[in-house]
Amino acid sequence: MHGPIALLHNKNTQAKVTQVSSKDGPVESLVLEDESHVIVEKDLVSQGEEEDIEALLGNYVMAIGEAEAFSERMKRELVALESANVYALLETESVVEEVLQGLEIASICVEDMDEWLGIFNIKLRHMREDIQSIEWRNNRLELQSDSNVALINEVDKLLELLQIPPEYEESLTGGSFDEGNMVKNIEACDWLTSAIKNLEASNIDPIYVKLRAAREKRAEFVLLKCTFVRRASEFLRNYFPSLIDSMLNDKGNFSQRGHLQRPDHTDMRYKFRTYARLLQHIKSLDKSCMMPLRKAYCHSLNMIIRRESRDFSNELRNSSKASKSSTPLFEGPAGANQPASITDSPADAYSKMITVFVPLLVDESAFLAHFMCFEVSALPQSDASSSNPNAESTITSSVALEASASIGKTSNNPAEMGALNECIQELLDGIQEDFYALVDWAFKLDPLSCISMHGLTDRYLSGQKAEVSGYVQVLLDDLETRITILFSRFVDDACYQIEKYERNVRQIGVVPYIPRFSQLAARMEQYINGSRDLVDQAYTKIVTIMFVILEKIAQVEPKYVDIVLLENYAAFQHSLYDLANVVPTLAKYYHQASEAYEQACSRHINLVIYIHFEKLFQFARKIEELMYNMSPEEIPFQVGMSKVDFRKMLKSSLTGLDKTINAMYRKLQKNMTAEELLPSLWEKCKKEFLDKYATFLKLISKIYPDEKVISVNEMRDTLASL
């Protein structure tokens, strides 16, 4: 319905144009502000209606004051318009009925549509249930498919564990053990070890432990393992002696007359090393098979080592230029048995033997420990070059085996070390006889060569570790003991020869064993090569018995005791003067001899002085004895101690003083065989006499102060003038 819109204007009314947002965009609107606001929007009237409203407003031009009249007029027109509208509605009744009929038809359609929608909803619900059922069955199928795939994979893995590759089965059951096939054999062993390990209860899924196929296959693998280990062990037990036999038949591997062959096991170890991994697998598969293999290896290798040592030792003795040494002994005439040169000492042969074979034995022991898979830590190689800088270059050992993981991780345990040392003893047993024979031969030619041999052996012993090779250390210990025993036998024989002088007739002069000992000591010093213990012990034993026998020899003629002692002790000092400056042990005995010499000189000089001035010093002794009990003034009144007695004694003792002193000199000279000692001995005698005479004068000055006696200076001048 269209009609004019009344606009009320008053004084307080203001018009305001705003923009109102709509779906079609912003639209300008006119807003009249009053107590109530009426908004007329342009989109509510058409263009024609707007023109009619403007024409209508143009017909009523009124001022502001005529608003009430305008309002009344508008109300009348509004009533007229409403009446016209009601009339128009009555005229359009048929149209309204048609509209109502259309609405009824639409309602019926709506009800039908609602019924159809209900039907569709039920169908959709059923379809949704069908779709859910299809999805559930599809998930079950997918789960079943995934399970089947996993089962197939698991079965494939199990079959892979249970199935024996044909190429490995051939190697394990009947393959050759030649060097060319060892790579295949090792691969087959790796697979078999892994297969058995994978079927163990600790490594396999618990659901497969009781599975019949798994149990049967594991039993089959164990049987295959036993078959392979038996075949491999039998092959190696035959291979070891066959390889050694081929080496024994080749004479070029051993020393021969005129040719000293150094043992070389490089090729042999290279061939053995081909089967090192095989031995490791045999041990991992069946540890009990290792003991027979170790025995076979040690027995075979022992044959070639003994052959090498025997031929080497024999050729050393045959080719040596050393002859029987004239070692200074203590028998025979003096001056005999002069020391000889040691340029061709038999100890050189022993040095070559031990320099070559001890490193070889140590290397063979270390090779055995690795090759035969003993669970011990890495064993060091021989260090002969460090222990013997002057020795020839030793054999280069190559024991770089691929040790199993267990060897690198385990520490030495007593059981393994015990088994290793037993095998080493079986490997090297018997070789000690060749060393003993060489030591005995060297001792027969030159007993002093024991000194060099002992020093060399001791140096090798100090360079060996206890765990490297127990048997090698035992061998060196035995050699050192044998050398010590032989040298002790030589020392005992020397002592026995010295003791025989005790049973001889009266000895005058220097006993022969004194200068001969100096010759022996000088020669022994030339042989020292390392430790001095053996030589110092010999010095101690020989010199001790020398001094004991010297004292006994001197006692044969009591009146010549001191002469014999001083001459021999002086000879001992003279002959060992140079050595005593560099040898502490001899220096000790040098000082001991010096003290004994001084004591013998003092006793002999006092005896000579007392013989020629007996009354003088007896009178002095009486005075000393009396002075213990009385004062000096009382002594001249004792019997035999008067001034008259003193003068008589003085006259008888000092009359003919020159003759008495000459007689005393001749007494010193008498029975002296060492004329070179006389000047020093006479000087000692004069000094001792002057000291005693000075003491005598001090006593006399207290007892007989007024008596005139020859002074010490006068006596010294008298002695000097003779």
Q: Write out pLDDT tens, residues 66-117.
A: 778 878 888 888 888 888 887 777 777 788 788 888 888 999 999 999 999 9
- How many angstroms separate the CA atoms of 552 and 558, rounded? 10
Q: Give mean pLDDT, residues 120-140.
A: 91
The predicted-structure confidence for 280-333, as pLDDT tens digits, reads as follows: 888 888 888 889 999 999 999 999 999 999 999 999 888 887 666 656 666 655
Same domain, 671 and 716: yes
Are 481 and 610 members of one domain?
no
Coil, strand or helix: which one is 255? coil
Distance (Å, rounded) from C-alpha 335 to C-alpha 325? 16
Give the H or E element holding residue 649: helix 643-654
Q: Is residue 55 part of a domain?
A: no
Asked if residues 172 and 188 have their Cβ atoms less than 8 Å apart, the reply is yes
Q: Across 84-98, 209-223, 454-468, which has the greatest mean pLDDT?
A: 84-98
Single residue among 490, 525, 546 that ends a domain in this structure: 490
Q: Report d(CA 373, CA 379) in Å as an integer.
A: 12
**295, 441: one domain:** yes
Per-residue model confidence (pLDDT) at position 574: 92
Is 462 among the domain residues?
yes
Select from 673, 677, 335, 340 the least CA-distant residue to 513.
Answer: 335
Half-sphere exposure of 515 (CA within 13 A, CB side): 14
Cα angle 470, 472, 475; round to 5: 110
pLDDT in tens, 416-446: 888 888 888 888 888 999 999 999 999 999 9
Q: Does residue 478 sit within a domain?
A: yes
pLDDT at 536 over 80: yes
Quickly state the pLDDT bin for 702 (edges 50, 70, 90).
confident
What mean pLDDT value characterizes the chain?
79
pLDDT of residue 35: 39
pLDDT greater than 50 at residue 378: yes
Residue 411: predicted pLDDT: 52
| 146, two tokens | 């995934």
Residues 40/24, Cβ–Cβ less than 8 Å: no
Tell me what pLDDT residue 712 has. 86
In this predicted structure, what is the pLDDT of residue 7? 37
Give residue 509's region: left, alpha or beta (phi > 0; psi -120 to 50).
Answer: left
CA-CA-CA-CA torsion sign (188, 193, 198, 200):
positive
Contacts of 184 (CB under 8 A, 6+ apart): 167, 171, 175
pLDDT computed for residue 388 by the predictor: 42
pTM, to two decimals: 0.66
Tell the burial category of 346 from Cβ atoms under 10 Å away from its Cβ (0-12, 13-18, 19+): buried
* Measured CA angle at 665 (ends 664, 671), to 5 deg: 100
Last residue of a domain, one of 470, 490, 510: 490
Task: Examine the domain organization and report whether 500 and 354 are in the same domain.
Answer: no
DSSP state of 31: E
Do 631 and 679 have their domain in common? yes
- pLDDT tens readout for residues 624-680: 888 888 888 888 888 888 888 888 888 888 888 888 888 888 888 887 787 888 888
pLDDT for 15? 39
CA distances from 696 to 39, 615, 641, 683, 701 (A): 171, 12, 15, 20, 9
Residue 150 confidence (pLDDT) above 70: yes
Sign, Cα dihedral of 3, 4, 5, 6: negative
With respect to residue 173, please indicate whether it lies within any of the assigned structural domains. Answer: no
Shared domain for 452 and 512, answered yes or no, is no
All residues at 6 or more sequence positions from 710 whose CB lies less than 8 Å from its CB, including other chains = 654, 657, 718
User: Inter-axis angle of helices 212-248 and 182-198, to 10 degrees?
Assistant: 150
One domain, residues 90 and 134:
yes
Report yes or no: 45 and 53 within 8 Å, Cβ to Cβ.
yes
> Within this chain, do residues 472 and 355 fall inside the same structural domain, yes or no?
yes
Residue 443 within a domain: yes
Predicted confidence band at 591 (pLDDT cuts at 50, 70, 90)? very high
pLDDT over 50 at 501, yes or no: yes
Q: Do 498 and 475 sit in the same domain of this protein?
A: no
Q: Is 13 a member of any domain?
A: no
Give the pLDDT of residue 623: 86
Residues 533 and 471 in one domain: no
C-alpha dihedral sign at 693, 696, 702, 708: negative
Number of structural domains (the chain) is 4
Q: 256 pLDDT band (50/70/90 cuts)?
A: confident
Residue 335 in domain: no
pLDDT of 484 above 90: yes
Structure confidence at residue 491 (pLDDT): 93
Distance of CA 465 to the CA centre of its chain: 11
% of the chain exceeding 90 in pLDDT: 21
The residues, ordered by sequence, that sit 6+ positions from 562 with a Cβ below 8 Å of its Cβ are 554, 600, 601, 603, 604, 607
Same domain for 499 and 478? no
Q: Residue 479's pLDDT is what?
A: 92
153's tokens: 């994979």
Contact 383, 366 (CB under 8 A): no
Q: Structural domain of residue 552, as residue ranges? A: 491-597
Is residue 1 in some structural domain? no
**Quick one: pLDDT at residue 16?**
41
> Residue 588: which pLDDT band, with cuts at 50, 70 and 90?
very high
Helix, strand or coil for residue 164? coil
pLDDT value at residue 332: 54
The answer, yes or no, to whether residue 163 has pLDDT greater than 70, is: no
Q: Where are the alpha helices (DSSP H) in 507-642?
A: 513-527, 533-554, 561-575, 577-580, 584-612, 614-626
Q: Which of 538, 521, 416 is nearest to 470 (CA)?
A: 416
* Together in a domain, 612 and 586: no
Query: By three-state DSSP, how is residue 683 classified?
Result: helix
Domain termination residue (choose one: 116, 138, 162): 162
